[in-house]
Amino acid sequence: MKKDIHPDYTKTTITCVCGNVIETCSTKKDLHVEICSACHPFFTGKQKLVDTAGRVERFNRKYGDYRKTQADKKEK
């Protein structure tokens, strides 16, 4: 392998928004992530709504609440 072309592989910490800190090795210094294995719905078994850039609010504004429309139809 050629010398002086490979990045340094050092110890780093990965910090999640939930507060979980993972120590590992990487070519990056420190990483900050939004979702980790401690708070990801797949690993925890709990449903968590992850809203990126207001997509849920935009959907609700556009299509409204489904339950309200079903209740209105039953009343008529």
The per-residue pLDDT for 66 is 67
CA 27 centroid distance within chain: 22
28 is a domain residue: yes
What is the DSSP pairing of strand 10-16 with strand 30-33?
A: parallel
Q: Is the pTM of this model over 0.75?
A: no
> Rounded distance, CA 64 to CA 69, Å?
8
Look at residue 31 and tell me if it is in a domain.
Answer: yes
Contacts of 21 by beta carbon, 8 Å cutoff, 6+ apart: 13, 14, 15
CATH number at residue 35: 4.10.80.400
Q: Supply the range of the domain harboring residue 45.
A: 10-75
> How many distinct structural domains can be found in the chain?
1
Predicted confidence (pLDDT) per residue in 1-57, tens digit:
788 898 888 999 999 988 889 999 999 889 898 888 788 766 667 766 666 677 777
Residues 76 and 73: their CA atoms lie apart, in Å, by 5
- Asked if the structure places residue 35 within a domain, the reply is yes
The residue ranking higher by pLDDT, 71 or 55, is 55
Residue with tokens 């900050």: 32
- Is pLDDT larger for residue 70 or for residue 46? 46
